[in-house]
Structure 1
Amino acid sequence: MSDYLKTQIEDAKNGDRAALEAVVRDVQDNVHRLAMRMLVNPDDALEATQEILITVVTKLSTFEGKSAFKTWVYRVAVNYLLNAKKVRDRDPGLSFEVFREDLHAGLVTDPAPSGEEDLLLSELRISCTMAMLLCLDLKHRVAYVLGDVLEFDHTEAADILSISKANFRQRLSRARNEVVAFTSAHCGLATNNAKCSCPRRLPAAVNLGRVQKERLVYAQIGEPTYEDVLNQARSVEKSLRTLILQRSMPALTCPNDLGARLAEIVNGESWQSSSDRT
């Protein structure tokens, strides 16, 4: 941890509002990225991000510097995402079997290519890749996200989860095996002969309102296109294709600057207790 961040944390503990805002801004994108990969729904992820950051700032006085500040923040975030009643109640409880049936419904035989569909194909690719992880239970989902998506060192990931390194590796291995098996069997980006592919699935996704040209949630101009990701995936060994797909995401930065907002909350101007919100 840099001397600058140490100073900012100490100043924030002592009531310096500007320092508090700076500390929140330093970690909000990391927290939001984790929330998005765990929850997928942007509104739920933004709400969870704010709840987590409120906990971070209200518990900042308990941070003693025994671990990296980032590790401590992720520990707070994971504890919320695994245990908050709001998160558990909203979890869709998907299974890979249900997800597979949904993917195979309404596939077109001969999709008509269109240059206007590039962003829609990217939107579908990203949303499907992210939603796939909802088929994992929360504990295995967070292990997969920390280990394979965010690429945490196993020792640090185990520390974040407050479990042994061996236990973390076991959870990660189990989650990875399920995600790789499903992707390899059913995703056209990973396997040539897979039944589902984004071009074949897109018409049904549009009809169901899951992909909307007027409201793109994930796809961004300038990011790798569907064809770019397809070519990248096909250029590596089959065992690595799932990782390519899970990591081929936009930055997923926090859409709001929460520093000033949370400084208001902890100063009592808009305070509402955690128990009231959850």
Structure 2
Amino acid sequence: MHSESGSAGDEFDTLAGSDTPPDDGDRELVARAVAGDRDAVSAIVRLLQDPIYRLALRMVWRPADAEDATQEILLRAVGHLDSFRGEARLTTWAYRIGVNYLLNLERRTPQEARQLSLDEYGEGLKDGLAEEDYRGPEAALLTRETRLNCTQAMLQCLSRDERVAYVLSDVFEVSSDEAAWIVGATSAAYRKRVERAKKRLGSFLQSTCGLANPEAFCRCSRRVGKAIELGRVDPRRPAFAKHPVTPGGRGVEEAERQMVRLHDAAAVLGAHPDYAAPQAKMEAIAGLLRSGRFPLLE
């Protein structure tokens, strides 16, 4: 899929135009890594893995796909550390690499493959909506899982450039100038994408989602049974509600409390925990970097 974010060749350009303050610690860490210090490389992977995983998860929906994308992005970032000039934070530089990869990913989510619009998705939510709240085993857990899965799914109904713009702006709260550099657009073009995405999501949530608008028809607790029936929620292995979080990060309950307090579209879509990248995949990356077969460390 072609994107407006630029070609793979310019995803490692320096940060001209970014308003992110430089970090001397990042420069020193990268210099050590480029010099062949494996401990520094491992530290960079630890620094980047969770932010990149959370970005990937919002773009590709399913944790397994986000794990694969995170591994590829991290390997690309580490392999091009010699292009990092320290004009901004290392995470900002890595976000650009990640966005370039995710916008051009050939694999599509189910909504993308079907070209499902938000209107069509909203109509689908009416099908199988129970008259009463779900009362089965683990009702609270599965209601949370349904909500988290649904907000992931609705993001997939946006075009990729709108999705990443919205996530950077309203979920990650990246400044517009910085986010424009990350996606490879002018600030004006980026703001237009965000406005378009906000308008579409806001309209959808106001007409559909009882979390954003108490007068709307849909309730997570009344979608649980249908979500289980369709295989979107696995009661034995909830993908989101029991997902590990970053140590000291925001958990499911805290995210939910913030959503209820703020009670708007950004809160509903941003009310995910601070997910941590799965350690098995990160250990596989570490093993590759230690193998002696990685060009940076030869």
Task: Please classify the TM superposition score into its range, dividing by the shorter chain length.
Answer: 0.7 to 0.9
Q: How far apart in 2 are the matches of 1:154 and 1:33?
A: 19
Q: How far apart in 2 are the matches of 1:58 and 1:89?
A: 31
Alignment of 1:128-147 (within 5 A): 128-147=150-169
Please identify, of 67-76 and 173-182, the stretch whose mean Cα deviation from structure 2 is larger. 67-76
Q: How far apart in 1 are the matches of 2:110 and 2:253?
A: 34
1:153 to 171, 175, 189: 175
**Structure-2 residue corresponding to 1:85:** 106
**CA apart distance, 1:88:** 8.3
Letter of the 1:63 partner, please give it: F
**Structure-1 residue corresponding to 2:273:** 250
Q: How far apart in 2 are the matches of 1:211 and 1:188?
A: 19
Question: Cα 1:212–1:182, aligned 2, differ >3 Å: closer, same or farther?
Answer: same
**Structure-1 residue corresponding to 2:28:** 7
Letter of the 2:253 partner, please give it: P
How many residue pairs get aligned? The number is: 266
Q: How far apart in 2 are the matches of 1:59 and 1:73?
A: 10
**CA apart distance, 1:193:** 2.5
Any conservation in 2 of the 1:107–1:200 contact (CA below 8 Å)? yes
2:94 to 58, 62, 73: 73
**CA apart distance, 1:162:** 1.6
**CA apart distance, 1:100:** 1.3
Letter of the 1:139 partner, please give it: D
Tell me, what secondary structure is at the counterpart of 1:33? helix
1:25 to 46, 54, 59: 46
Letter of the 1:203 partner, please give it: G
Richer in helix (by share):
1
Tell me, what secondary structure is at the counterpart of 2:88? coil
1:62 aligns with 2:91: no
Any conservation in 1 of the 2:134–2:225 contact (CA below 8 Å)? no
Please identify, of 176-185 and 209-218, the stretch whose mean Cα deviation from structure 2 is larger. 209-218
**CA apart distance, 1:264:** 4.1
**What do residues 76-115 of structure 1 show as CA deviations (whole Å, max 9, x unaligned)?**
0000001133458994332112211221111111335468
1:214 aligns with 2:236: yes
Letter of the 2:163 partner, please give it: R
Tell me, what secondary structure is at the counterpart of 1:244? helix
Q: How far apart in 2 are the matches of 1:74 and 1:38?
A: 13
Any conservation in 1 of the 2:111–2:156 contact (CA below 8 Å)? no
Percent identity of equivalent pairs: 36
Q: How far apart in 2 are the matches of 1:199 and 1:87?
A: 28
Question: Cα 1:87–1:55, aligned 2, differ >3 Å: closer, same or farther?
Answer: farther
Any conservation in 1 of the 2:208–2:218 contact (CA below 8 Å)? yes
